[in-house]
Every structure is written in C-alpha cells, then in structure tokens.
Amino acid sequence: MSVSFFESFTPQEVARISAAGTRVHLPEGWSPISERTPADKAYILLEGRVSVRRGKEEIAQLGPGDIMGEKAIVGHSLRTASIVALTPLDLIHLTAEAVEKLSDEMPSFREALNAVVESR
C-alpha cells in the first residue's frame, strides 16, 4: 500500500481508531502474525518495516501507515501469510472484535478496510 491507511480519516477518526487498540512495541525478528492461524488480531504499523511471507517466500514488505492482518478477519478465514519484523516495530494492536466494531460503527473505516483487502 503506497498511502497511509490513516490518510483517508479525519483527525477525530484517527483518534477513535487508535483508542480502539493498544499501542505495542515489538523487536526485530518477531512474528506477530503466523500463516494458517486464526484471524484474532490486526495491526496498524506506525514505525518500522515488516516482511509478508507465504511459506519461505517474501511476497511483500509493509511500512508505516500500513494495516496487516485485516484480510483474514474480513474474510473469516485462517491467515494466508506470516508477518516478520525487519526492524523494531511500533504498532496499534486491534483485536478482531475491535476491527469488526469499528467496521460496524464507522463506514469510513469499513470502506478503507475493504479497499485494502481488495488491493491484496
């Protein structure tokens, strides 16, 4: 994704999305999402870079402003890829329930989320 996930939201919406999650810091090499696991969380990347891997093959890299883990939540499926931190990460951790609640209550969030899912 070339534009920040937050770019389409007002400052009030960004604050609401941020408040729905928990800010976390993860070290380089950490894998917050593993392939073929349940869709129980998503992350919005604030700082750092990650590798998106299917098996041992890198299929993408994501950076600040990108959301990850959303596709399996929206599709009610197991994860189709793993995420590995290439650098230390600063993230907003959203539970699947928080993602679903934001989607229900904020049409702009649902539209942005669906646009990301369709682009991947």
The pLDDT of residue 4 is 67
The pLDDT of residue 6 is 77
Domain ranges of the chain: 5-119
Q: Using one digit for the tens of pLDDT, what is the confidence trace for 11-22? A: 999 899 999 999
Return the CATH number of 5-119, one of 1.10.287.70, 2.60.120.10, 1.20.1290.10, 3.40.50.1820. Answer: 2.60.120.10
Provide the CA 46 distance to its chain's centre, in angstroms.
10
Q: Which residues of the chain have pLDDT under 70?
A: 1-4
The pLDDT of residue 1 is 40
d(C-alpha 44, C-alpha 19), whole Å: 12
The pLDDT of residue 3 is 56
d(C-alpha 32, C-alpha 19), whole Å: 20
